[in-house]
Amino acid sequence: MAIREILEVPDPRLKTISTPVEPHEFGDDLRTLVEDMFETMYDAPGIGLAAIQVGVPKRVLVIDLQPDDPDAPPVECSHDGHKHTHPATKKEPRVFINPVILDPADELSTYQEGCLSVPEIYADVDRPATCRVRYQDLDGNTHEEALEGLMATCLQHEMDHLEGILFIDHLSRLKRAMVLKKLEKIRRAA
Amino acid sequence: MIAEIADWVGTALPILLLFPLVWLVGGFLLESIDPRDPRDEPPRTAANALGDAAAWLFVMGLCSYMVVGEWQAQDRSWFWLGLLSLALIEALFKLVSLLREARRLAAQGAPEPRM
């Protein structure tokens, strides 16, 4: 397993439309990619990652919402430069290969989204509140599942990556320009 | 009045140039000799920013009091008036920045997870 580099805007590879994983591609290389994606996502830290975010233009997503684990002791952390504690979380890793969204709800829900490829920027995005997803697992078996809440939002956010769309592309032209300007400022300061 | 303003500008000009220089060099020196590890400091909160804003409000009040006193004096010194005016502007700038920071920190809460 290895932590891979996460691509950040304005890297043109993030605009790539990912290609499906072909039947002959299910195997050890795909498992290694998924393991690396999980390790990269946990290290970032994040709750979802698309393969294109680590430079692989394949229709592969990993998601782990990592809900709080009230039974475990708090975890020490210093990822933002300050030593502090977080509530412990449970690992619930999910892999979606060649996912397709079915029946997106008309009802929209708003969530303040952040993206590992757009550092330090958060913005409200409207998306269908629920949807169904058809996907394959690591063995190539097909599944169908109904999603709601943060899981539905996260999956749709990651599906956008497969089409070369970032969450800031859902914002108005003015807001997007402001976000990109802020990013440039952050990058200069770093 | 115009002559007085021209006099003030003439007197204040060297300070206007000197002030940012002292501010930058002093800030750089203080930063370089600061032995604290920033990772040991707790994350900044809205209460911290409001506390700092209160301190700068006090500085602003003090500067205003001294500016008014100097202005009303028979033998007013344009040099001190210029210096105190700059300090007043700086204090006002800091106060507004800190109040904006406090508002931002209060609104942001815990960061949302990224995906």
Q: What is the mean pLDDT of each run of 10 residues along chain A (190 residues)?
A: 91 96 95 96 94 97 88 73 72 95 93 90 90 96 95 96 95 85 78
In this structure, what are the phi and psi dihedrals at residue A133, rounded to the nearest 5 degrees?
Answer: -130, 135
- Listed in sequence order, the residues at least 6 apart from A124 whose beta carbon sits closer than 8 Å to its beta carbon are A110, A111, A112, A113
Is residue A141 included in any domain, yes or no?
Answer: yes
Q: What is the interface size between A and B, counted as CB pairs within 8 Å?
A: 45
Predicted confidence at residue B84, as pLDDT, reads: 87
In this structure, what are the phi and psi dihedrals at residue B18, rounded to the nearest 5 degrees?
Answer: -75, -40
Predicted confidence at residue A81, as pLDDT, reads: 60
- Does residue B95 sit in helix, strand or coil? helix
Domain coverage including residue A21: 12-102+129-165
- Quick check: B43 and A44 CB within 8 A? no
The model's pLDDT over B64-76, given as tens digits with 9 standing for 90+, comes to: 998 898 888 888 8
Is residue B11 included in any domain, yes or no?
Answer: yes
**Across all residues in chain B, what is the average pLDDT?**
80
Residue B39 pLDDT greater than 50, yes or no: no
> Which pair of structure tokens corresponds to residue A179?
């976000």
Minimum CA–CA partner of B115 in chain A: A48
- How far is residue A134's CA from residue A146's CA, in Å, rounded to a whole number? 9
Minimum CA–CA partner of B43 in chain A: A82
Q: Is the model more confident about B43 or about A24?
A: A24
- Listed in sequence order, the residues at least 6 apart from B42 whose beta carbon sits closer than 8 Å to its beta carbon are A82, A84
| Domain count of the fold of chain A | 1
Q: Which chain A residues are Cβ-neighbours of B43 within 8 angstroms?
A: 80, 82, 84
**A44, A84, A122: residue with CB nearest B112:** A122
Is residue B29 included in any domain, yes or no?
Answer: yes
* Cα-based distances in Å from B54 to A153, B1, B89: 42, 35, 16
Residue B40 pLDDT greater than 60, yes or no: no
* Cα-based distances in Å from A74 to A81, A181, B37, B110: 18, 37, 23, 16
Q: Is A98 left (phi over 0), alpha (psi -120 to 50) or beta?
A: left
- Quick check: A115 and B114 CB within 8 A? yes
Q: How many distinct helices (H) and strands (E) make up chain B?
A: 3, 0
Q: Is the model more confident about A86 or about B52?
A: B52
- How far is residue A2's CA from residue A35's CA, in Å, rounded to a whole number? 8
Is residue B104 included in any domain, yes or no?
Answer: yes
Is residue B113 included in any domain, yes or no?
Answer: no
Mutate to test the interface with B, among A37, A63, A83, A116 (most CBs of B within 10 A): A83
Is residue A67 included in any domain, yes or no?
Answer: yes
Q: Report which of A166, A39, A160 is spatially closest to residue A93, judged by C-alpha positions.
A: A39
Is residue B31 included in any domain, yes or no?
Answer: yes
Helices (H), B34-77: 46-72
| Domain count of the fold of chain B | 1
Residue B41 pLDDT greater than 60, yes or no: no
- Does residue B13 sit in helix, strand or coil? helix
What is the DSSP-derived secondary structure letter of residue A3? Answer: P
Predicted confidence at residue B42, as pLDDT, reads: 60
Domain coverage including residue B99: 2-108
> Which pair of structure tokens corresponds to residue B81?
């008036």
What is the DSSP-derived secondary structure letter of residue A27? Answer: S
Residue B47 pLDDT greater than 50, yes or no: yes
Torsion over CA: B75, B78, B81, B87 (sign): negative
Predicted confidence at residue A11, as pLDDT, reads: 92
- How far is residue B43's CA from residue A81's CA, in Å, rounded to a whole number? 9
- Quick check: B112 and A115 CB within 8 A? no
- Residue A142 sits in a domain of what CATH number? 3.90.45.10
**A80, A84, A114: residue with CB nearest B113:** A114
Residue B38 pLDDT greater than 60, yes or no: no
- Quick check: B115 and A44 CB within 8 A? no
Instruction: Name the residue type at position B35.
Output: P
- How far is residue B69's CA from residue B88's CA, in Å, rounded to a whole number? 14
CA dihedral A62, A109, A182, B28 (to 10 degrees): -80
Strands of chain B, DSSP E:
none
Q: How long is chain A?
A: 190
Is residue A83 included in any domain, yes or no?
Answer: yes
Predicted confidence at residue B34, as pLDDT, reads: 67
* B38 contact A CB<8A: yes
| Separation in Å, CA of B18 to nearest CA in chain A | 25
Task: Decide if A158 is catalytic.
Answer: yes
- Quick check: B115 and A82 CB within 8 A? no
Is residue B56 included in any domain, yes or no?
Answer: yes
Residue B3 pLDDT greater than 80, yes or no: no
Is residue A185 included in any domain, yes or no?
Answer: no
